[in-house]
Amino acid sequence: MATLTDLNETRSVSHSLDPVIAHDDEPKRKAEPFWIGPVKIDPPILQAPMAGFTNYAFRQVVRQFGGVGLLATEMVSARSFVWKDRTECEHPDRLWGVKDEPRPLAVQMWDNDPERLAMVGARLAHEYQVSVVDLNFGCPVREITEKAHSGSYLLSDPPRMGRIIERVVRACEPVPVTAKIRLGCRRDCINAIEVARVVEQSGAAALTVHGRTAQDYFRGEANWEEIARIKPHLKRIPLIGNGDIDSAEKAAAAYRRYGVDGIMIARAALGRPWLFRQAAAALRGEPIPPDPTLDEQRQWLLYHYRLVCERFGMERGTVLMRKFACCYAQGVPGARQFRTQVAQVQSPDHFYEVVDRYFPRDDPSGSESTGP
């Protein structure tokens, strides 16, 4: 799993999407909904799966801001799902909230065994009644690739990917199955077009492409030109582009320039769950709503904290919340001290004290708060 250091590193790099914004003379492509099988994605903006982050609490916050056509869970291990089933344990924390929360919702899973994935996919589709079952073919982390021959490892074996997708599609019917990939395993072996064809021919209902290779991990810039090159090779299914979208303007620019059907946003939304609403406005060609005030942001953070603690209890919830709290303060002027302090909190009292004392405040003459 990527760490917070990865996130911070990539925040500071320049993005290939920057020049795109300058192309204001480009024809303005109006945002249109698209379909993943029977599921309408409106607006065409998706919240990316992020292990350790996109749990029920995060999704609730995102949902309340709006602007997302499809939300996704963290990736779920098919093997651990089966194991928990056999041992009659509660299902993985990563499925927290999935049965009850509003739709549309995608659950992502990973493994390399078609039968195991089909079995878990069928359960997700029919018992959990999720809107979309997504297959992870992009994770570059060694535990998943080298050790489990899953995630982005499978990009080197498109026929196996095809067998997996076919089997899972059959098991999940009528719930659509989608695939999320990277451009390839290595920079000298970009095979996304070949993989995209296999994904489509095997019956998947959409393809998401993160514009980096597994070798890149999170380094460098996402290559949107390579993403765009895939589009003409897909005859039937939509293409969703992903990578380095960290502003509403970039979301709109990528949508217009690269001809993708949808835009997926991951890291930038962790501390700015209102980014989807802003991106949706930009795609519609409307004025971009401002960020919430710092007072509002603090209230959203506390709301998020309460949701996490309701599930995990106050002690574990506090420890889990440290990374989210750091995200909320990312890029906020004067938040360094807050991040240092909150990264060490152990108890709820300490958490509240640090938020109260160190989370940056608006100018006292600022506008009134309308947080959650």
Ligand X SMILES: Cc1cc2nc3c(=O)[nH]c(=O)nc-3n(C[C@H](O)[C@H](O)[C@H](O)COP(=O)(O)O)c2cc1C
The CB-of-195 to ligand X minimum distance in angstroms stands at 14
Residue 271 as a binder of ligand X (CB under 6 A): the answer is no
Q: Which stretch binds ligand X (CB under 6 A): 1-9, 97-105, 168-176, 293-301?
A: 1-9
Which of 4, 47, 121, 29 lies closest to 269, judged by CA?
47
Residue 272 as a binder of ligand X (CB under 6 A): the answer is no
Nearer to ligand X, 52 or 371 (CB): 52
* The one among 41, 43, 53, 132 contacting ligand X by CB under 6 A: 53
Residue 295 as a binder of ligand X (CB under 6 A): the answer is no
Cis omega before residue 38 (within 30°)? no
Query: Are 240 and 207 in contact, with CB atoms under 8 Å apart?
Result: yes
* The one among 69, 121, 138, 292 contacting ligand X by CB under 6 A: 138
> What residues between 117 and 136 interact with ligand X by CB under 6 A?
136
The CB-of-46 to ligand X minimum distance in angstroms stands at 10
**CB-closest chain residue to ligand X:** 266
Q: Which stretch binds ligand X (CB under 6 A): 28-36, 46-54, 98-106, 350-358?
A: 46-54
Residue 267 as a binder of ligand X (CB under 6 A): the answer is yes
The contacts of residue 192 (CB under 8 Å, 6+ apart) are 181, 182, 183, 184, 209, 226, 227, 229, 230
Nearer to ligand X, 136 or 202 (CB): 136
- Any catalytic annotation for residue 326? no
The contacts of residue 222 (CB under 8 Å, 6+ apart) are 15, 16, 17, 210, 211, 212, 242, 243, 244
Q: Which stretch binds ligand X (CB under 6 A): 22-30, 117-125, 238-246, 247-255?
A: 238-246
* The one among 41, 50, 175, 196 contacting ligand X by CB under 6 A: 50
* The one among 36, 45, 46, 48 contacting ligand X by CB under 6 A: 48
d(CA 56, CA 98): 7
The CB-of-263 to ligand X minimum distance in angstroms stands at 9
The CB-of-170 to ligand X minimum distance in angstroms stands at 22
> What residues between 207 and 236 interact with ligand X by CB under 6 A?
210
- At residue 343, φ and ψ (nearest 5 deg) are -65, -10
Residue 111 as a binder of ligand X (CB under 6 A): the answer is no
Residue 296 as a binder of ligand X (CB under 6 A): the answer is no
Residue 245 as a binder of ligand X (CB under 6 A): the answer is yes
Query: Are 207 and 192 in contact, with CB atoms under 8 Å apart?
Result: no
| Residue carrying structure tokens 């999935």 | 98
d(CA 342, CA 331): 15
Which of 56, 65, 155, 67 lies closest to 110, judged by CA?
155
* The one among 108, 150, 213, 341 contacting ligand X by CB under 6 A: 108
Token reading at 99:
């049965």
Identity (one letter) of the amino acid at 201?
Q
x/- string (CB under 6 A) for ligand X, residues 3-42?
----x-----------------------------------
The CB-of-227 to ligand X minimum distance in angstroms stands at 12
End-to-end CA distance of the chain: 30
The CA angle 158-196-121, to the nearest 5 degrees, is 70
The CB-of-146 to ligand X minimum distance in angstroms stands at 17
Query: Are 127 and 160 in contact, with CB atoms under 8 Å apart?
Result: no
Instruction: Specify whether the backbone of 137 is left (phi greater than 0), alpha (psi in -120 to 50) or beta.
Output: alpha
Let me know if 26 is exposed, middle or buried by CB neighbors in 10 A (0-12, 13-18, 19+): exposed
Residue 327 as a binder of ligand X (CB under 6 A): the answer is no
Catalytic residue among 139, 172, 309, 326: 139
Which positions touch ligand X (CB under 6 A)? 1-2, 7, 48-53, 74-75, 108, 136, 138-139, 180, 210, 242-245, 265-268
Q: Which residues are catalytic?
A: 139
